[in-house]
Chain A
Amino acid sequence: MDKPIPAEADFTGLAGHRFPGGYYTVAHWENALLTECTGATLLPGGRVHPVALFHLPITGAGTTIAEMFALGQAESDLSIMIESYDWETFLPLREEIRYSVCGGIESAQRCTNPAGQFYDRIQFRFEVRTPEDALAARTTITWHYTRNTL
């Protein structure tokens, strides 16, 4: 049975939602596993592979992928489609550094695809800062919450 589509006002009202914020430290073991998953070798000097810019901001901001799915009232885990990932880096990430992270929902919109089907679009934005409060990275995740298409 199809899950009801959230009311448009409820959905667009997600804009401005803030996650609790917090901290994240990439341990050496985690960087080693992440890097191996990419097919690369460890970067020199304790640099963290930038692939960490997906989960580091999410976890550090005090949320989870599952919560981000739930906020948009995803029909299921399978109904989420990626529009884009936009990662800006201002300083190389390093292992064992305690980064502070803040983030939230930048925009939430109801859209229609060329086939006339509704979908909802959320843009999440996160900022990652060093212990000295220098901006190290900014990431934007844009997902589509498809409705009744699977």
Chain B
Amino acid sequence: MSVAVGDRIPEWVMDSVCPARMRTMAALLRDPNPLHWDRDAVAALPLGLGRRTINQGPLGLSYMINMLHAWAGPDCLRRINMRFPQVVLDGERVVARGEITALWDDNGETLAECSIWLQHEERGVLLEGTATVVLPKGGA
């Protein structure tokens, strides 16, 4: 893998955020928050989100991990730090994107610091953060 600072990571697309997956996730996480499975609870909030459930934060974060795995392999993740400026809603098409901001060698491994974000075409950046990724041998 030959990379340089400023390179973009191949994007990863979630074509439609699925409310059924949110319900499964709520059960697995034992997450009592109705925002993830009750459209009426979301509609009752003074946020103008309509009758759509809100994706769990870890699920939005997982789209970023899927992008990194597809790019650099299943053992690549060293650190991920995500902030959540906007919610992700059921039915939305979102795209995980990223860019290399630094590269360095450590104990024979090449590490990449990446700026990463989850984007919605109309609403802009929904999640944003950084990731540290170990690159496959032969990188940089």
Which A residues form the contact surface with B (CB < 8 A)? 30, 33-34, 36-40, 43-45, 47, 49-51, 53-55, 59, 64-66, 69, 77-78, 80-90, 92, 150
Contact = CB atoms under 8 A, between A and B. Distances in A.
Contacts of A53: 58
Contacts of B28: 30, 33-34, 37, 55
A37 B74 contact: no
B116 to A, nearest CB: 13
A43 B76 CA distance: 12
Contacts of B84: 81-84
A34 B46 CA distance: 31
Contacts of A64: 30
The 4 closest A-B pairs by CB, nearest first: A38-B62, A54-B58, A51-B62, A77-B33
Contacts of A50: 62, 65, 77, 80
A45 to B, nearest CB: 8
Interface of B: 14, 21-22, 24-25, 28-35, 41, 45-46, 56-59, 61-63, 65-66, 69, 74-75, 77-84, 129
B58 A51 contact: yes
B26 to A, nearest CB: 10
A66 B29 CA distance: 11
B32 A49 contact: no
Given A34-B28, A59-B30, A85-B82, A51 B21 contact: no
Contact of A37 (B25, B69, B83): B25
A144 to B, nearest CB: 10
Residue from the set A40, A45, A80, A82 with the largest chain B CB neighbour count within 10 Å: A82
A79 to B, nearest CB: 10
A38 B45 contact: no
Contacts of A54: 29, 56-58, 61
A78 B41 contact: yes
A84 B74 contact: no
Given A77-B35, A87-B80, 15 more contacts: A36-B24, A37-B21, A37-B25, A50-B77, A50-B80, A51-B65, A55-B29, A66-B32, A77-B32, A78-B41, A82-B83, A83-B84, A86-B81, A86-B82, A150-B46
A25 to B, nearest CB: 14
A21 B79 CA distance: 23
B63 A38 contact: yes
A85 B61 contact: yes
Nearest to A84: B83
A33 B66 CA distance: 15
B20 to A, nearest CB: 9
A39 B66 contact: yes
A150 B84 CA distance: 18
